[in-house]
Amino acid sequence: MMAACGNPGNNQQSTNEMSNEPLKQVKGRVNFGPDHALVTTPQPCVMIATWDKDHTPDVMMAAWAGQYDYKRIVVSMSKHKTTENLELTGAFTVSFADVHTVAESDYFGLVSGHKVKDKVARVGFTVTPSPNVDAPIINEYPLTLECKVVSWQDGVLVGEVVNMSADEKILTDGRIDLAKLQPIVFDAAAMSYRAIGDEVGKAWGDGKKFAE
């Protein structure tokens, strides 16, 4: 689910695993080596929800997730209760933890569904069955992707997004408004959660000054 980031230690002793030679350093920069690489950081805190064999909802947090293309999502994850469930149902939902659900979302990442039968009920959350895939929608998460399993192998889950649904409270002029959603991200370097901040620029706009 999540990977911790430690201290760089003795950077001079870090090696290139491909060649087993000491890594070279750029002046003014610190080498952390491949074992502490954050790859892409910060990471969105995505909540994957499934039904188990008894139709009890289960949720886990997965920090290592990304958009594969316009209609697919990819998640790197080891075997969990969640993966057992999606092997049964062939479906899952993906929601996004926000500033209002930090403790609950963290709990979903800490405790296995094998040890706690109904984690969703334990934190007081409720569910609605997705009308489009065989998976639960967690009502307390206002933005949800409803997905079908495309593949699950070698620790990589690929899902096809069948639908995206959003609570009207996070919309502005019919569009998702991140200022209203207030999603959180996982900061692996500090082992903490951070809220998405203010708008700092316009996509496909601010860079035009260099093209003039």
The string of pLDDT tens digits covering residues 96-141 is: 999 999 999 999 989 888 888 899 999 999 999 999 999 999 999 9
Distances (CA, A) of 111 to 103, 114, 118, 212: 12, 8, 11, 54
Q: Could you tell me if 186 and 43 are in contact, meaning their C-beta atoms sit under 8 angstroms apart? A: yes
pLDDT at 42: 76
- H runs (alpha helix) in the chain: 81-89, 102-110, 119-122, 178-181
pLDDT at site 15: 56
Contact indicator for 182, 45 with CB cutoff of 8 Å = no
Q: The domain 43-195 belongs to what CATH superfamily?
A: Electron Transport, Fmn-binding Protein; Chain A (2.30.110.10)
Note the pLDDT tens digit of each residue in 32-66: 776 665 556 678 899 999 999 999 999 999 877 77
> In this predicted structure, what is the pLDDT of residue 40?
61
Q: What is the dihedral of CA 74, 77, 83, 87, to 10 degrees?
A: 40
pLDDT at residue 39, rounded to an integer: 58
Average pLDDT over the chain reads 85
> pLDDT tens for residues 64-95?
777 777 799 998 888 888 999 999 999 999 99
pLDDT at 142 over 90: yes
Residue 62 near residue 142, CB atoms below 8 Å = no
H-only helix segments in 137-185: 178-181
Q: Which residue from 160, 157, 98, 165 is spatially nearest to 130, judged by alpha carbons?
A: 165
Q: What is the pLDDT of residue 37?
A: 58
pLDDT at residue 9 in the model: 41
Rounded Cα distance, 193 and 206, in Å: 28
CA distances from 41 to 29, 86, 136, 140, 144 (A): 18, 27, 28, 26, 22
